[in-house]
Amino acid sequence: MAVTQYSVQTIKEFTYRGGIQQFSNRYYFDGSEPSNWDALFDALKDEEKLFLASDVAFVKARGYAPGSDVSVANKTYSVGGTQTYTSRTAAPGDCALCLKQATTKLSTKSHTVYVFTYVHKAQIASGATDGDTPVSAQKTALATYGAHWRDGIVVGGRTYKRTTPDGHAVTSATVLDFITHRDFPR
């Protein structure tokens, strides 16, 4: 698959097993190179902090040209999330909420292709007996973020919509009902 879209990577970090652990998400979007990468980074930071736990920091954003893993734009931050643990429990650090977004792309077997976003430091709902049920406020905030990528995030008069790396548009935004697991690179 040829990568035809520009992309942005957002990097977050938190304390995990006695050290600092980073995780990131990369989003491909439609259209040409942003005329103001910093404005796009700031908009994504403002969106993402709404679903990040208060002990997770948004620390970096990077912009990429199609087909390249060398960033063409970078910005550093130190901004915490706004989700708090009022009578809630944090799931282990390698547990995550998962945003699943269908696209217009079909596999060779005619199945819908999805893109995923994982958010670590998920919060377990108060009174949940299974430890797998996320706090509804965090789940709703992540679903809203997914809907904004689907419908378009407006920055400086331009609308950015999420795509696959080869340009197929996102058509939905669903957060899984249960907290899932995602390994960190070693």
**What per-residue confidence (pLDDT) applies to 91?**
86
Query: Cα–Cα–Cα angle for 66, 62, 50, nearest 5°?
Result: 120
At 140 the pLDDT is: 94
pLDDT at site 85: 64
The structure's pTM equals 0.93
| Amino acid code (one letter) for 180 | T
Mean pLDDT by 10 residues, the chain (186 residues): 92 94 96 97 96 92 97 96 76 93 97 97 82 89 97 97 98 95 78
What gap in Å lies between CA 53 and CA 4, rounded to an integer? 33
Identify the pLDDT of residue 125. 83
Query: What is the domain partition of the chain in residue ranges?
Result: 6-181
**What is the per-residue pLDDT for 42?**
98
How far is the first Cα of the chain from the last one, in angstroms, to the nearest whole number? Answer: 27
Structural element, H or E, at residue 160: strand 158-160
